[in-house]
A and B are shown apart, each in its own frame.
Chain A
Amino acid sequence: MKWTKFGSTAAIYLVLLLGALLTLGPFLLSILTAFKTREQFAQQSALSWPDPFTVENFAQLLTGPAQFGRAIVITVLAAMLILVGQLICSILAAYAFARVDFPGRQVLFWVYLSTLMIPPVVLVVPLYLMMTEAGLRNSFWSLVLPFAFASPYAIFLLREYFRGIPQELIDAARLDGANTLDVLVEIVVPLSRPIIATLTLITIVSHWNSFMWPLVVTTGTEWRVVTVATASLQSQFNGNWTLVMAATTLALVPLLVLFLLFQRSFVRSITIAGSA
């Protein structure tokens, strides 16, 4: 009995380890290859250790015509602006839906919620037309504007959270003469840190990773984001895999680090994100 239990535990670990290996393999291969020379890549097995260990690929990416450094800066800036815009607009709207009585509140909330059904892929073509008409195609703002005002999804999550804040706290502040903005800044936002942290992670991840819209709306290297730069490297230097893997490593590693730092809130944010 004891032995079969031991055996089944060992079997479970074996399966789990195999799964972990399959999951981590591509990441490790990408990182290993990024530190190899082209010669070593051509001559030795894909699984070989980098020898000599070189950062030449990264140097070429960041300083060469691919302008990968610029792409990283633009991606970070766009994600930050989207994050700040979304948080401010969503907090204001969520507070209105949670705590302010105004005509049409229910209807508008349902309109907001119903937009969650619209698949992003469907929006790409009409947004492209709108950005073209507005003269904003291939500009930094075309990356930011469509997402910077609000996320109905964030509003939904924040509203749920705000409804849990005791009304007495708000009333007490009101009696002390606080206006709506004071209440938001001094009471609601500080009490909602966990959900705001969650939304911050979701927003950063989804805009660092976003690809189709930036691919469509930008041309050339000027406003290229990291994913688009990676894709264009692949088609431009097809076969120069050490360089391309340096690009994928730069695209993947920041999020891996972020994930390992904030593991707990990440896992929670994925389950929250999915169940809304």
Chain B
Amino acid sequence: MFSRGSLRRRSAITGYALLAPSLFGVVCFLLLPVLVVLWLSFQSWDLIGPITFVGLDNYRSVLSDGVFGNSLLVTLIFVLLVVPIQTLIGLGAATLLTRSLPGSAWFRTIYVLPWICAPLALGVVWKWILAPTDGALNTLLGQRVEWLSDPTLALPAVAAVVIWTNVGYVTLFFMAGLLNIPGQILEAARIDGAGAVKMFWHIKLPLLRPTMFFVLVTTVISAFQVFDQVYALTQGGPARSTDLVAARIYYEAFDAFDLGRAAVMAVVLLVILVVITLAQQLYFRRRVTYEMD
């Protein structure tokens, strides 16, 4: 009926026709914006006036004035607070929930609830709970603690809210990882006389390494992008003590109206996160056997 060449051409036409709408989306709303943000990082724009080329001025200004440096440092501290703590709690919860006690499924469901809800709305709820005079927590404690306006407490408070949101998500992955450990291995260790503690340290934890690595990488990446909770709780304050990078980009662009500087910060964040992701990919490439289900 058809020659081989015309069949191949038909199949190529079908392929591109099917791909056209998504290709439009990927090019216009993912690839083009990356080029635009790179371009914008060499321009000056205040949202209203014309866009003018300023060369490396934005880079010089962002890298020299310390505001962005502070932001990166705050973000780093934030990531170092959030990731280990939520990993530990998640691992602990998963260990308890995989003991097949009755009701475990209910607890798992409850723990995941914050993860599926709007971080902004939860941030607003916590803003009230942590409010100094009429907040729920201080009412319970019976004393006034400035959770969100004390520069030493604000960052840990924001971190606690984010941990509270994420713990269920982390728990789910560790549960999947623990349930993936073959029963024979655990049985063999039990016969060899390993107790619960030994079993955890010497059998389960080493076998959880891929899950652990996956959880660490994804939660580091998401912690680098936290915005909603900061917007709701502290707006970056007090004294820039909670000025996480994502919030800094927002305030630089839509509060200080310096889109060029915001673009520079976005480019730096992009580079940091792409490097982390590529490192993760390289690691995973070497571990083809690992499958999550």
Contact = CB atoms under 8 A, between A and B. Distances in A.
A89 B21 contact: yes
A248 interface: yes
A95 to B, nearest CB: 6
Nearest to A233: B124
Given A121-B249, A270-B169, A27 B113 contact: yes
Contacts of A115: 26, 30-31
Contacts of B112: 259, 266-267, 270
Interface of A: 9, 12-13, 15-16, 19-20, 22-24, 26-27, 29-30, 33, 41-42, 45-47, 88-90, 92-93, 95-97, 100-103, 105, 108, 111-112, 115, 117-130, 132, 145-150, 152, 155, 180, 205, 208-209, 211-212, 215-216, 226-227, 230-231, 234, 239, 241, 244-245, 247-248, 251-252, 255-256, 259-260, 263, 266-267, 270-271, 274-275
A12 B101 contact: yes
A119 B225 contact: yes
B117 A245 contact: no
Given A30-B128, A100-B15, A230-B118, 8 more contacts: A19-B93, A89-B21, A93-B22, A126-B266, A150-B22, A234-B127, A255-B117, A271-B293
Nearest to B266: A122
Given A15-B96, A123-B30, A211 B227 contact: yes
A125 B118 contact: no
Query: At the interface, is chain B mostly helix, strand, loop or mixed?
Result: helix
Given A89-B25, A211-B228, A271-B172, A227 B246 contact: no
Interface string B67-107: 00000000000000000000000000100110101010001
Contacts of B259: 125, 129
A227 B115 contact: no
A127 B111 contact: no
Name the residue among A42, A88, A102, A180 with the largest chain B CB count within 10 angstroms: A102
B111 A231 contact: no
Q: Which 4 A-B pairs have CB atoms at the shortest separation, nearest pair first?
A: A149-B25, A102-B15, A150-B22, A126-B36
A20 B107 contact: yes
Contact of B15 (A42, A96, A149, A212): A96
Contacts of A22: 164
Interface stretch (B132-140, B143-151, B182-190, B199-207): B132-140
A202 to B, nearest CB: 10
Interface size class of B (residues with CB under 8 A): 35 or more
A125 B263 contact: yes
20 contacts: A13-B101, A16-B97, A46-B135, A46-B140, A47-B140, A101-B15, A117-B277, A122-B33, A122-B266, A122-B269, A130-B33, A150-B23, A180-B14, A208-B118, A227-B118, A230-B121, A241-B134, A245-B125, A252-B117, A271-B292
A86 B254 CA distance: 29
B130 to A, nearest CB: 10
Nearest to B218: A274
A223 B174 CA distance: 40
Given A149-B21, A209-B117, A128 B122 contact: no
A91 to B, nearest CB: 9
B125 A147 contact: no
B111 A209 contact: no
Query: At the interface, is chain A mostly helix, strand, loop or mixed?
Result: helix
B194 interface: no
B208 interface: no
Given A122-B266, A129-B40, A271-B176, A209 B119 contact: yes
Contacts of B119: 209, 211
Name the residue among B34, B118, B274 with the largest chain A CB count within 10 angstroms: B118
Contacts of B22: 89-90, 92-93, 112, 149-150, 155
A41 B246 CA distance: 35
A252 B120 contact: no
B91 to A, nearest CB: 13
A42 B133 CA distance: 11
Contact of A19 (B111, B131, B232, B270): B111
Interface string B13-48: 011101101111110111111101100100001010
A127 B29 contact: yes
Contacts of B107: 16, 19-20
Contact of B139 (A15, A45, A127): A45
A54 B126 CA distance: 22
Contacts of B263: 125-126
